[in-house]
Structure 1
Amino acid sequence: MVAPESLAVLAPRRVEGYRLINSKFPPIALFDDVADAEEFEALYRLQAMTNPRLKNELGELSLLPCDEIPFRIRGCSYAAAAFTHVNPNGSRFSDGSFGVLYIADTLATAIAEVSHHQKRYWERVEGLRFERFVFRGLRCAFDEQGCRDALALAQDHPIFDAQSYSASRELGHGLKRAGAPGLRYRSVRNEGATCWALMTPRHVEEIVQTTHIEMVWNEGLTQINRLSALGPR
């Protein structure tokens, strides 16, 4: 296991990266409608009286302390959702008990990462012959200050294992316990590229939708298309 304290700490630097999310998940407006934690609590209580779907829309709020939510930024809902809507099956740096905001250095890297995992999922869906899936392409700006740097580790280090997440999840738990804001690491699905695993949305400065990406399944992942390019919202 690699200990978080053995990895270099990154200096302040504004980074722009990309991520994809399935467009079937609607944006969560409530995080973007308030300026601070106090306003959020008041509006949440008010809306909860009339909106029975609110809990499902916001996810598990207990997983994300209010003081870590970057209220006032554009795309606050996108930043928070990764931590309140957690995949119970986990991910590379989480066993599913906490959320991680994954960001890639380029849109191409984000597509490579997501398409790999989608392909593995669709292959297990019995009887799936043809389907199309649409994803939102998000541009993310954040400060990598305080993140640990795993780029110095060799490509064959266990945390980059293409199949097993055992070592990487141990590191993820270590980062979480240490209060580290995140990790910069090598992309496993796009050689030579870089990704970040943010353990908190606190240092996110902006997340905006810029495009839609379509993935076509025809008894195999046969097409990846860029449907639109959008200006910042």
Structure 2
Amino acid sequence: MVTAQDLPVLPSANVRAYRLVNSKFPPIAIFDDVASVDEFEELYALQTMTNPRLANQAGRLELIPRPDIPFGIPGCSYAAAPFTHVNPDGSRFSDGSFGVLYLADVMETAIAEVRYHQQAYWSNVPDLRYERFVFRGLTVRFDEREALDVLDVPRTDPVYASDSYQASRVLGQSALTAGAAGLRYHSVRQPEGVCWGLLTPRQVASVVQTAHYEMIWSGEIAAVHKLSTRVG
């Protein structure tokens, strides 16, 4: 079984990648309103006195070291949110006890990944005949140094299993324990696509919203449409 010790460490390289997030989850303003850890602590303490919902909005801050949050960058909340709002059901590289920021090499890969998981989720909702799901398209710039390269691992390896995360979660946990910044790997849902699973947001330089997309459900994800483009 592949572990962190089996993989090469990537050198510094500035990467542009893409992500889709459901529009029902708004940006978390407090992450974007400050430029340092000290400013965050002061503002958070002040706002919790008057905003009882702030803790829910910010998420589980104990899951991420404060120095790992890239305060001051454009879109800091988008970078931090996957680490404070962790899916308890887990994901490909996490058992649900820690967060992962998943990114794709092109928007088509991001759409393919999200489409697969939306299809799987909504297929289990009885009597859902028609629905429209809207997502924000994000462009992310980050440095992939200290991430582990999984691209040379054969696609036949269990870490790339389509419907089982057992091997990939072992890899994710070993990478986290080893202090790796993330994993670069083949997309399982998009042929020739490449993805990253960042285990920390500290090397993210910017996250910018660029467009909205909708997925149409009519017994399955029948179509994906780009709704708008935002310059930024």
TM-score by length of 2: 0.99
AA aligned opposite 1:65: P
Using the aligned pairs only, state the percent identity.
Answer: 57
Distance in 2 between the 1:191 and 1:157 partners? Answer: 16
Q: Aligned residue for 2:209?
A: 209
CA deviation digits over 1:14-33, x for unaligned, max 9?
Answer: 00000100000011011111
Residue matched to 1:121: 121
**Alpha-carbon distance, 1:91 to partner:** 0.3
Aligned-residue CA RMSD in angstroms? Answer: 0.6
Distance (whole Å) between structure 2 residues aligned to residue 220 and residue 5 of structure 1: 40
Deviations 1:108-160 (A, max 9, x none): 00000000000000000011110000000000000001110000011111110
Q: Secondary structure at the match of 2:99?
A: coil
Distance in 1, matches of 2:115 and 2:3, equals 30
Aligned counterparts of 2:167 and 2:104: Cα–Cα separation in 1: 21
Aligned match of 2:112:
112
The one-letter code matched in structure 2 to 1:29 is A
Q: 5 Å matches for 1:77-92? A: 77-92=77-92
The 2-side partners of 1:230 and 1:18 are apart by 14
Counterparts of 1:165 and 1:141 in 2: how far apart (Å)? 27
Task: Report the secondary structure of 2:212's partner residue.
Answer: strand
Q: Does 1:221 align with 2:221?
A: yes
Q: How many residues align?
A: 232
Which residue does the alignment assign to 1:9? 9
| 1:223 positional shift | 1.1
Q: Which amino acid aligns with 1:18?
A: Y
Give how far 1:52 is off: 1.1
Moved over 4 A (4+): none
Map 1:182-193; keep pairs closer than 5 Å: 182-193=182-193
Provide TM-score, normalisation by structure 1.
0.99
Is 2:179 the counterpart of 1:179?
yes
AA at the equivalent of 2:132: R
Q: Partner of 1:62 in structure 2? A: 62
Deviations 1:29-49 (A, max 9, x none): 111111111110000000001
Counterpart for residue 199 of structure 1: 199
Structure-2 separation of matches of 1:179 and 1:51: 35
Q: Which residue of structure 2 lines up, in the alignment, with residue 48 of structure 1? A: 48
In 2, distance between residues paired with 1:73 and 1:5? Answer: 32
